[in-house]
């Protein structure tokens, strides 16, 4: 039962959902920006689709955050606005890879220096810079199949919010629930067959938020440092292992491709819908196990993380074998 004292906490996520729903619906119906994701040899879709959904999702988040009793740090707001601006310019015009990466790393360094350097030292701040830069890029890499990135956003930030709530930090919890609510609105239009995509203006800021709020929760004592890694591990593992494999083969890791596990599953005949549903099961399992384990003894936490490493290793080996046999059979 919802008590009267809980009702104010429901307002910001509700605003996030409604604003995102209205904005995305308008962007689809009006198509005023006319920024389309054209199919090519490396994409999984076969028709032009608007890639402005991230503008609606992030708008819902920022508007709803204005109604929070305790708002996220100003530098997070500024970083999001800058990331949306840079990434939308890339969606429209196509910016060079290295200057864009340098700008992303600069924002990651700014966040890390302002939040971690004084309390945890520069070594930790440098490591955090690399983590933020990688997270915002891998979120973009994993945004290539209908419903996948939206589902990770809904599940991942819901887990952040639930864990922060249990730890007693209600304001931080609601900030995360706002992101999840906006993602829920986006998924109504993005689940297969997708009517709109996130675009870089959505995926890049969401990757930043996954890293920045994950570190914020750690600094606030809501969870240990391994927690956000396990919550978003379905994306982290797929993107990281794929990049390492391509690097070892001497391929240009910064070039677009279709070699992520989720892309290979879609192309194997599983399709967007089934790949997303399997992804949701994996995302929910990793998030729920992280939520349960975070309040257990350190030895249990170590055991859970180790178990998930083994699970991912087995899953990837089985997936590689299955896809290899399918390719040989064809």
Sequence-ordered list of residues with C-beta below 8 angstroms from that of 20, at least 6 positions apart, any chain: 56, 57, 59, 60, 61, 181, 182, 185, 186
Which string of DSSP letters, residue by residue, matches 307-329?
Answer: HHHHHHHHHHHHHHHHHHHHHHH
Please state, in angstroms and rounded to a whole number, the distance separating the CA atoms of residues 161 and 179.
9
Residue 169 marked ligand-binding: no
Q: Would the annotation count 200 as a binding residue?
A: yes
Cα–Cα distance for residue pair 123/117, rounded to 1 Å: 8
What's the helix, strand, coil split of the chain in %, to 5?
75, 0, 25
Residues 6+ away with beta carbon under 8 Å from 141: 239, 242, 243, 260
d(CA 328, CA 321): 10
Residues of the binding site for Mg(2+)? 140, 200
Residues of the binding site? 140, 200
């Amino acid at each position: 039962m919802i008590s009267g004292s809980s009702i104010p906490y429901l307002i910001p996520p509700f605003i996030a959902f409604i604003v995102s729903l209205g904005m995305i619906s308008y962007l689809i119906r009006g198509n005023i920006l006319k920024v389309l994701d054209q199919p090519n040899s490396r994409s999984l879709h076969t028709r032009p689709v608007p890639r402005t959904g991230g503008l609606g999702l992030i708008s819902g988040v920022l508007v709803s955050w204005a109604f929070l009793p305790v708002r996220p740090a100003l530098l997070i707001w500024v970083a999001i606005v800058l990331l949306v601006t840079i990434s939308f310019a890339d969606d429209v015009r196509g910016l060079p890879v290295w200057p864009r990466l340098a700008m992303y790393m600069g924002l990651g360094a700014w966040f890390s220096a302002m939040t971690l350097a004084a309390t945890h030292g520069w070594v930790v701040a440098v490591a955090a810079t690399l983590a933020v830069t990688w997270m915002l890029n891998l979120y973009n890499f994993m945004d290539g199949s209908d419903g996948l990135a939206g589902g990770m956003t809904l599940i991942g930030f819901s887990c952040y919010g639930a864990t922060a709530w249990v730890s007693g930090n209600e304001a931080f919890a609601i900030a995360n629930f706002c992101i999840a609510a906006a993602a829920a609105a986006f998924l109504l239009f993005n689940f297969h067959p997708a009517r709109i995509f996130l675009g870089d203006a959505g995926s890049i800021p969401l990757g930043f938020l996954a890293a920045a709020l994950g570190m914020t929760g750690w600094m606030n004592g809501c969870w240990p440092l391994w927690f956000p890694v396990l919550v978003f591990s379905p994306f982290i593992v797929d993107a990281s292992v794929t990049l390492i494999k391509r690097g070892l083969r001497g391929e240009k890791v910064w070039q677009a491709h279709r070699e992520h596990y989720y892309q290979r599953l879609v192309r194997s005949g599983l399709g967007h819908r089934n790949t997303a549903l399997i992804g949701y099961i994996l995302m929910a399992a990793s998030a729920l196990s992280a939520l349960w384990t975070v309040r257990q003894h350190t030895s249990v936490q170590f055991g859970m993380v180790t178990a998930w490493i083994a699970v991912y290793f087995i899953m990837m080996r089985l997936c590689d074998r299955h896809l290899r046999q399918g390719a040989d059979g064809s």
